[in-house]
Chain A
Amino acid sequence: MNASLMTLEICVMALGTVLMLADFWLPDERKKFAGYAAVAALTGLLVISFSGCGACSLGGSAFNGMFVQDGLAIFFKRFFIVAAILVLFMAVEFSDRIAGGVSEYYSLIVFALSGMLFAASANDFTMLFVAIELITITFYILTSFQRGRLVSLEAGVKYLILGALSSSFMVFGIALVWGTTGKLNFNELAAVAAQFETSKIFLFGVLFILVGLGFKIAAFPFQIWAPDVYQGAPTPTTAFLAVGSKAAGFVLLLRVLFTAVPTVTAHWMNLLIVISAITILYGNLCALPQRNLKRLLGYSSIAHAGYLLLGVAALSASGQSALLYYLAGYLFTVIAAFTVICLVTRHLDNDDVSALAGLNQRSPLLASTMTLAMASLAGIPPLAGFFGKFLLLKAVLEQGAVNPGYYCLAFTALAGVVISFYYYFGVIRAIYWSKNVVDVSPIQLSGPIKVAVCICIAGMFWLGIFPTTALDMANEAAKVFGK
């Protein structure tokens, strides 16, 4: 066993514990610093992950192959750490809206992060289940953290019950797979999966596992929870849910589909195409009449799950690397949007689109950040969202010769993009061209949050204009499935 491979996870766990303990000694007015300390520590870990030393070198596995450290794992671990850092910046800004236990909020984010790190390395159904539950259970708490607000509690309960439902399907599925094949490790399962292709019980099992993962990424028909939970949860939680939890779902989905049961996946081309197409349409269509910002982004996140599924449905290396690239752009874009929402609605009860009215006068930085984020989500060059969508569509069209359904899928995705312009630009219109601007008081921004916002903007432009570096990383990570 090679426990040193898990250095990142162990450090993150320790950081979470320290943060929780710090709550006892830190006076209330100093609690902000706990958040910044966590940011600093995670930044350190991010640097280490890029240094390529010991724990972060490629290759190697631990716990009898349950835990692997490959290109994909490293890619996602960096991704999750960056997401957590940006979310923590937001959480510090949000702390005055949390009744008690601010340090706990930070530490729960860090614990959720550790679950995501494990998910990135999971190579075994047991590991998969543990990692997912670690993430999901922390999110139950994070969602209902604003104990004084009924919507927050309601969201927590809904997430808990539906999450439990999906987990039960998943664990049942794992049991069925193990019962038929006797294997839990992905690599070992891949070796025997071909024999069970016709076994309905085995396929039942795999499908139930996919149901659980589909719930995590909010893909049709398991998307039903997303809008309510996104709307009710505290904004930093929503952001982390939209980015971290969804990405964890995707890394596991990729591992299960392409490492554990690749031969089965090849038969499910049509299933993936249909799910991807409906998810895109559902998210975009439902977002059209939305006036609540967070709910709107909830639907938008469903639509983006659909776009990301394009990369899965393509069943090709270029599709997988496009998916990874798109996730990277999505990270900066979505966190930028939620940061703006978090700052603008500080003194407001609702998250209505009208809250943005006159933002260009109140804070030009936030107004342009929101505009860029919406433009990137809509896929306007030169921002990250454009290049990501381009790569995904390219990957899908490349497969058009295999199955004409891919052309329909690409067309559906384009139609979805066109529909989405309406509501994304509705947000931009609310910022700049609102008729009745009530509040024009300037919004004060703290130094750190400006840094976070600027990182997001830089990330959107960097990925959109100089895609080479990130694309190389994504290609490197996607090589895992080529073996």
Chain B
Amino acid sequence: MKYEILPWIILFLPLLATAVITLFTLRCRTKSSLISISAVVTGFVLTIVFIAVNGWHPVASETAVNWLSIGDLHADFGLKLDALSMMMMLIVTGVGGAIHIYSYSYMDEDAGKARFFAFMSLFTFSMLGIVMSNNFLMMFIFWELVGVSSYLLIGFWFEKPSAGDAAKKAFITNRLGDFGFLLGILMVWGILGSLNFSTLQSSIVANPAALGTMATIAGLLVFCGAMGKSAQFPLHVWLPDAMEGPTPVSALIHAATMVAAGVYMLCRTLFLFNADALHVIAYIGGFTALLAALMAVQQNDIKRIIAYSTLSQLGYMVMAVGLNGPTPAMFHLTTHAFFKALLFLSAGSVIIGMHHEQDIWQMGNLRKKMPLTFWTFLIGALALSGIPPFSGFYSKDSILAQCLEEKNYLLFGVAVFVAGLTAFYTFRLFFVVFFGKEKSDYAKHAHESPLVMTLPLVALAVFAAIGGFIGIANNYGSQFVAEHETLSLAQQVLEPLHAPVAMLIGIGVALAGIFLAFSLYKNAGTDPLPAKLGGLATAMKNKFYLDEIYEATVIRLHDLIATICDMIDRWIVEGACIGFVRGGTDLTGRALRLVQTGNLQTYAFLFVLGVALVLYFVLGK
């Protein structure tokens, strides 16, 4: 591996930026943002240089320094550089870079701009750490760091109570998943005696039954981590609330990168999961995709709709992993990063144009006022809906094909239905926002965003459009499939024809969804759906009452346990135990003090009494 120092620089540049901003330039908004932007852009350029020099599969793919050795535990601080991690590095620094530049303008009026960029750099550092780490321990540390930076960014406008609550909700829900993750890591370490991915993989390849009877449990525990980070049912509740953060944060963290970390981790450690575990994973993914798509249909907040679609797409990816398809999963993750970041940033542009109004029923007819945003949003929407030749079509098609290949027709049905729903709710949003009549004064006076914001939109739009056939699937294929043949550009464009059934059904339901949305919402002033669906629409709108169910069960139970513990601590531990000991000691001290009368005769008497005592103790028996 040439230029071994480069990955280290790429990793630590954002941390350096955080340190510099926090320690020195916190008062200077422009300088801080430029430092942060240049750190991530430099990282992007260096990643390209590194790939250009070493190719996608460097000979020695790991570089490590020994970090600590305790007994038999040797923990390295090491980087793993192969096609999987380098693609992720490109996404994190590339998409991240575009979003950083976009934020420069988006956050311009915010007093905490410098703080914002410090957090963004911290996040970039943590995310790079996850994708580059070569062992579970290091990945877990960065996993938690990502959790912290996500917490900081969701709660960035901490003066809003809803932002603070959302940040806490995200952090605590993730903690639940991470608890399982940690148990899983410990179990793997306990059984196999190593934390390094390559070592683990070779020991499992050498002996597939190495994990023994615990294989399924260990796999599912590790999957818990992914459930938290990638917001899979039942730990999905935090993601929609996380939209309280600034829109670039939603784009970068809660759409493009962090939530993908769970999927990435599953692909990185795929060798750990046996058939049973993968089965569970696939069904949880499929269920999440369906549930989230249904919820998205009846939301009215522009960011929440996209957030639910993120949930749904993450469900797709997890399902693909569960169906033994890491290549389709990572392919979809990558194209999703492009078009979902694009959608969020376009939504951000709309929100800025609408003076921070987020209700889609207050918008309307914005295609005239914001033409560039309109076109980029359209590209993102087409990609998300899976219309050829946009990137989303190719990746979604590969997932559908994977379902058929595994002969799992139930999940294929779910995936197809969700694809139709996706097209429907995406274009519901699209038509309500960009067509029809202006539904408020803000919409009448909306304006296009400045160039610093629209340029990243254009760049992302290009990739959202062509991402399906520029070799992304090739790279992942070479990672996961032993005898992988590299496809030419033309072959990539025509790749979906290998599974014509999946392709035709996929395109069909997407077009049907768009048509349905067109007919219902072309000129709608209010939502016609509740009248038609009745109770189902209300349930969708209220997210199937899951938050309320959690409130009534998990949180109540938690509060009850906390109250009992508090009582025990207050009355039994503090009152009875400590109070008794403390009071007793104090009393003894006060009583003994009375012995010291200050009277010499008493002292002399006590002295001689002492002598007598000692004599008796030794000689009296």
Contacts and interface: CB of A to CB of B under 8 A. Distances in A.
Interface SS of A by simple majority: helix
A225 B610 CA distance: 13
A221 B593 contact: no
A169 interface: yes
Contact of A274 (B596, B598, B617, B619): B617
A130 interface: no
A271 B617 contact: yes
A271 B585 CA distance: 24
A282 to B, nearest CB: 7
A228 interface: yes
B592 A282 contact: yes
Contact of A207 (B598, B607, B615): B615
Contact of B604 (A162, A227, A268, A282): A162
Interface string B606-620: 111111011101110
Given A204-B615, A207-B615, A221 B607 contact: yes
A36 to B, nearest CB: 37
A173 to B, nearest CB: 10
Given A207-B618, A285-B589, A289-B590, A161 B606 contact: no
B603 A224 contact: yes
Given A228-B596, A285-B585, A289-B590, A162 B607 contact: yes
Contacts of A286: 589, 592-593, 596
Contact of B603 (A158, A207, A287): A158
Contacts of B590: 288-289
Nearest to A286: B592
A253 B364 CA distance: 97
A227 B596 contact: yes
B607 A224 contact: yes
B526 interface: no
Q: Which of A169, A207, A268, A271 has the most CB of B within 10 A?
A: A207
A250 interface: no
B600 interface: yes
A52 B526 CA distance: 101
B485 interface: no
A200 B619 contact: yes
Contacts of A204: 615, 619
A11 interface: no
B588 interface: yes
Interface residues of B, number: 25
A203 interface: yes
A362 B585 CA distance: 34
Contacts of A275: 614
B597 to A, nearest CB: 10
Q: Which of B588, B610, B615 has the most CB of A within 10 A?
A: B610
A204 B609 CA distance: 15
Contacts of A287: 589
A475 interface: no
Given A204-B619, A207-B618, A271-B614, A166 B596 contact: no
B483 interface: no
A178 interface: no
B606 A224 contact: yes
Contacts, number: 77
B614 A224 contact: no
B582 to A, nearest CB: 9
Interface string A200-234: 10011001101100010000111011011000000
A228 B603 CA distance: 11
A286 B590 CA distance: 7
Nearest to A223: B610
A161 B606 CA distance: 13
A227 to B, nearest CB: 6
A222 B607 contact: yes
Chain A: interface size category: 20 to 34
A157 interface: yes
A191 interface: no
B586 interface: yes
Contact of B593 (A157, A200, A211, A289): A289
Interface in B270-325: none
Interface string A132-172: 00000000000000000000000001100110011001000
B588 to A, nearest CB: 5
B598 A228 contact: yes
Interface string A233-273: 00000000000000000000000000000000000100100
A211 B596 contact: no
A224 B600 CA distance: 10
Nearest to A219: B610
A289 B613 CA distance: 27
A286 B591 CA distance: 8
A289 B607 contact: no
Contacts of A211: 610-611, 614
Nearest to B614: A207
A370 to B, nearest CB: 22
A137 B430 CA distance: 102
Contacts of A227: 596
B600 A419 contact: no
Contacts of B592: 282, 285-286
A200 B615 CA distance: 10
A196 B357 CA distance: 102
Interface in A49-104: none
Contact of A288 (B586, B613, B619): B586
Contacts of B610: 211, 220-222, 224
B82 to A, nearest CB: 46
Contacts of B608: 165
A289 B587 CA distance: 9
Given A221-B610, A287-B589, A289-B593, A161 B615 contact: no
Contact of A161 (B586, B589, B604, B609): B604
A220 to B, nearest CB: 7
B174 to A, nearest CB: 36
Q: Which of B596, B604, B617 has the most CB of A within 10 A?
A: B596
Interface string A279-302: 000100111111000000000000
A289 B586 CA distance: 8
B600 A157 contact: yes
Contacts of A274: 617
Nearest to A288: B589
A251 to B, nearest CB: 21
A185 B548 CA distance: 89
Nearest to A264: B618
A228 B590 CA distance: 17
Contacts of B600: 157-158, 161-162
Contacts of B611: 169, 208, 211, 221-222
B614 A221 contact: yes
Nearest to A284: B589
B618 A271 contact: yes
A220 B617 CA distance: 13
B619 A203 contact: yes
Contacts of A271: 614, 617-618
Nearest to B586: A288
Given A203-B618, A221-B613, A166 B607 contact: yes
Contacts of A222: 607, 610-611
B603 A419 contact: no
Interface of B: 585-586, 588-590, 592-593, 595-596, 598, 600, 603-604, 606-611, 613-615, 617-619
Interface of A: 157-158, 161-162, 165-166, 169, 200, 203-204, 207-208, 210-211, 215, 220-222, 224-225, 227-228, 268, 271, 274-275, 282, 285-290, 419
Given A161-B604, A221-B611, A228-B598, 11 more contacts: A203-B618, A211-B614, A222-B610, A222-B611, A224-B606, A227-B596, A287-B589, A288-B585, A288-B590, A289-B586, A290-B593
8 contacts: A161-B600, A204-B615, A207-B618, A211-B611, A271-B614, A285-B585, A286-B592, A288-B590
Q: Which 7 A-B pairs have the closest CB atoms?
A: A221-B610, A288-B589, A285-B589, A224-B603, A286-B592, A224-B606, A285-B588
